[in-house]
Structure 1
């Protein structure tokens, strides 16, 4: 497997591997503000197997994606930031290849499972869900066009601040969406990337949680219940916390990596 990887130069012994979410997105929506770390850190932004500009090949599973990342890392340990679904993959990478992980940042994701009633009674969540519903079941679009339409339809749930939304929509325009995992996911045939006992399995891995208080995908309430080496929950920030609060978000990343 030859992954498409965008690299920013920096010291090899200070490499940060960034694992994007989706899947069926590419890495590009995460480049800013992390690109400001270039020079201080070597930055690697791969497109996961079957995502963006990386080819699709069987098996299409979380373990295959994790094996690709381990091959990309090589033999020297790196820091890893996993965002959203990428946060689940980053945890899986740390469990299966602990010798390759120096420090782990789980951003806009969770170690603990999300309860089915996680957002019950949250009026703003209900308002935005009604105003900006998912298009999975209602759209006549198919393939990558459907994945793209879903990203745009739910953008106002993913970004908390109204003034941040136009910039986020422009960023989405540049994402190379795919549909490699779409039908597997919708049919229930795509294996979960989450370990039910992730906390126990991650014991010994330096773990940092970075979250938006108003995240409507992974509830911020789980952060307080997760034992870890450190955590930052940004106020006035949603699931795309790096869009809502880019400076504070980057400061949190930089602070953890320099500790």
Structure 2
């Protein structure tokens, strides 16, 4: 199954995509993408193998992809995404779900279990952090410094998007291109990664409030306590060579919340699901009991 639909929740038209077998005895796996001005599609390399065994629900956050945009400067806050998701889960008729949050979406997932922990059976925090900062872990890493000097080749699709009138979209696309050499680990696959980005429907809705300092925190005030209070199992899934959120933040969280499981994938950067799709999807399925 691979079907898309639009669900109205709280005045927001939420674009969703469901892949995998029809719903069975296990709860669906709901996925929160990162960005936030991206959509869900860049996560498919890791999630398509998962969908061979599990029902997976992806959605585009408000202001992203094919969900409602144009909500104005007061329409974008992390807690709004949390409530959108709560209403979406209920609108789809689910009493409990497994939840995977990737990067920024992993921080939203922490907010979600803080306020809606009864809706979540198992939680996966992928390529994300529970902490502010972390750049100090990158100091002295020669490979990181080298990659900061690399400029990804500009694909034709990026030139087309740069011609669009939305300055925010152009800014998001430029950020994605600039970050590409540090987002993945195997630079021989850089063209393949850029081809993946071609399929992303970028937006710029969150960029303005971010630059203006209007956004609230993406994480709970005390994320360690919020995760200790969550009674379900938690998997921290991270790339050993992550240059976005260095692996030390994953190790720190695992030490602070001993009930968590930690899986670190070697030869994998921030986009660990792209670098190591089979190992990444196997870790997800093993944790979910698939």
User: Would you say same fold, with TM above 0.5?
Assistant: yes
Deviation (angstroms), 1:73: 1.1
Aligned length: 254
Give yes or no for the alignment of 1:245 onto 2:245.
Answer: no
Which residue of structure 2 aligns with residue 219 of structure 1? 246
Which consecutive residues of structure 1, in runs of 5 or more, have no partner in the other structure? 134-138
Give a deviation string over 1:120-151, Cα, whole Å, max 9, x none. Answer: 11111111113349xxxxx9992202201210
Q: Which runs of 5+ in 2 are unaligned?
A: 1-11, 153-161
- CA distance change for structure 1 residues 10 and 35 in 2, over 3 Å: closer, same or farther? farther
Residue 36 (structure 1) shift: 2.3
Query: After superposition, where does 1:95-110 map in structure 2 within 5 Å?
Result: 95-110=114-129
Please give the residue correspondences for 1:37-186 in structure 2 after superposition, counting only pairs within 5 Å: 37-38=50-51, 40-56=53-69, 57=71, 58-74=74-90, 75-132=94-151, 142-186=167-211
Partner SS state of residue 231, structure 1: strand
Give a deviation string over 1:209-248, Cα, whole Å, max 9, x none. 0001111110101222222421111111100001111111
Return 162-171 or 34-43, whichever deviates more: 34-43
Q: Please give the root-mean-square deviation of Cα atoms over the aligned residues, in Å.
A: 2.0
Structure 1 match to 2:22: 10
TM-score normalised to structure 1 length? 0.92
Aligned pairs for 1:198-213 within 5 A: 198-203=223-228, 204-213=231-240
The answer to whether the 8 Å contact 1:215/1:237 transfers is: yes
Residues 160-206 of structure 1: per-residue CA shift (max 9 Å, x gap)? 11233221110100100001011111121121211231110121242
Q: 1:250 to 1:237 in 2, by over 3 A?
A: same
In structure 1, what is the Cα distance between the partners aligned to 2:261 and 2:277? 19
Q: Which residue of 2 aligns with 1:28?
A: 41
Secondary structure of the residue that 1:127 maps to in structure 2?
helix
